[in-house]
């Protein structure tokens, strides 16, 4: 029997159009880790927070298509922290948590499984060569606490991505992100230095981290049976 894995999230996961390439969301590569018995339906959208995703009716759209046994992967935080934008800002200790509860309740009400993913980290190195532990503010810790309080499975992609960047170092990790010199790509004629959004390689690597976290999760034993093979 086949099931659908929906992704609710922001630009770090979202499908990118031709005009944005080579920028790539990690959700574009998740399907490649699964057998045909899992269909990935990537509903992540650029620039959204939990607040704006809900306000635009995007969770309601997922709910209409969501069935028993389906999965709802929930990853937000980058835009929830935009305090200057009241249409997106969600306080990590209050509204963000309440919003996450709405996503969780939606999946459970439909007989499916909500899965919380901590925000994928920005590439933000400190002067001593270590990564900024607050690269996405308080949102990863708030997500962990909501998972603990609700019993929803947690994939700690924030920690996993920070470990990946640290292992590569300050220079090598740039290739995971949108670092393009002037004139290198027609979509970015002036060049770009962006330590939030992924290159094609970066998206592949983060999708692998998500698949690996699924493989290592005791709570997702049913889902991991649909992986193509051992993730290394």
Question: What does the pLDDT average to over 202-229?
Answer: 97
Rounded mean pLDDT of 107-123? 98
Q: In the chain, pLDDT over 90 holds for what percent of residues?
A: 98
Q: What is the pLDDT of residue 180?
A: 97
170 contacts: CB under 8 Å, gap ≥ 6: 125, 129
Nearest to 7 by CA among 43, 50, 34, 37: 43
What pLDDT score was predicted for residue 24? 98
pTM comes to 0.97
Arithmetic mean of pLDDT over the chain: 98
Per residue in 150-194, pLDDT (tens digit) is 999 999 999 999 999 999 999 999 999 999 999 999 999 999 999
What structural domains does the chain harbor? Answer: 3-224 (3.40.50.1110)
* Per-residue confidence (pLDDT) for residue 232, from 0 to 100: 82
3-9 vs 71-75, strand pairing mode: parallel
Residue carrying the six token digits 């393009």: 180
Distance from C-alpha of 204 to C-alpha of 16, rounded to nearest angstrom: 14
Which residue's entry shows tokens 């929830």? 80
For residue 34, the cross-strand partners are: 227
pLDDT at position 224 is 96
For residues 220 and 207, give the distance between their C-alpha atoms in angstroms, rounded to a whole number.
16
Q: Would the pLDDT of 94 be above 90?
A: yes
6 strand-pairing partners:
41, 72
pLDDT tier, 1 (very low <50, low <70, confident <90, very high otherwise) = confident
Q: Classify strands 113-117 and 154-155 as parallel, antiparallel or unpaired.
A: parallel
Q: Contacts from 146-154 at CB under 8 Å and sequence distance 24+?
A: 146/97, 146/100, 146/101, 146/104, 146/116, 147/116, 150/101, 150/104, 152/104, 152/114, 152/115, 152/116, 153/113, 153/114, 153/115, 153/116, 153/217, 153/219, 153/220, 154/115, 154/116, 154/117, 154/118
Question: Which letter does DSSP use for residue 43 in this model?
Answer: -
Instruction: Give the distance from CA 155 to its chain's centroid.
Output: 10
């Amino acid at each position: 029997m086949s099931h659908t894995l929906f992704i609710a999230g922001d630009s770090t996961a979202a499908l990118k159009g031709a005009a944005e390439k080579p920028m790539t969301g990690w959700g574009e590569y998740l399907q490649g880790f699964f057998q045909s018995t899992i269909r990935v339906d990537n509903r992540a959208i650029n620039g959204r927070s939990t607040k704006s995703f809900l306000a635009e009716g995007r969770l309601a759209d997922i709910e209409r298509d969501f069935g028993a046994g389906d999965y709802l992967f929930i990853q937000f935080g980058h835009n929830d922290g935009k305090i200057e934008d009241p249409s997106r800002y969600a306080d990590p200790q209050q509204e963000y948590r309440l919003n996450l509860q709405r996503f969780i309740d939606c999946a459970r009400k439909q007989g499916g499984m909500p899965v919380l993913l901590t925000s994928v980290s920005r590439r933000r190195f400190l002067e001593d060569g270590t990564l900024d532990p607050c690269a996405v503010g308080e949102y990863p810790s708030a997500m962990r606490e909501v998972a603990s309080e609700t019993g929803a499975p947690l994939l700690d992609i924030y920690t996993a991505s920070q470990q990946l960047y640290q292992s590569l170092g300050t220079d090598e990790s740039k290739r995971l992100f949108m670092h393009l010199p002037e004139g290198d790509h027609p979509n970015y004629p002036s060049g770009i230095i962006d330590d939030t959004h992924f290159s094609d390689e970066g998206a592949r690597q983060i999708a692998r981290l998500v698949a690996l976290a699924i493989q290592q999760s005791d709570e997702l034993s049913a889902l991991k049976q649909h992986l193509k093979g051992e993730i290394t």
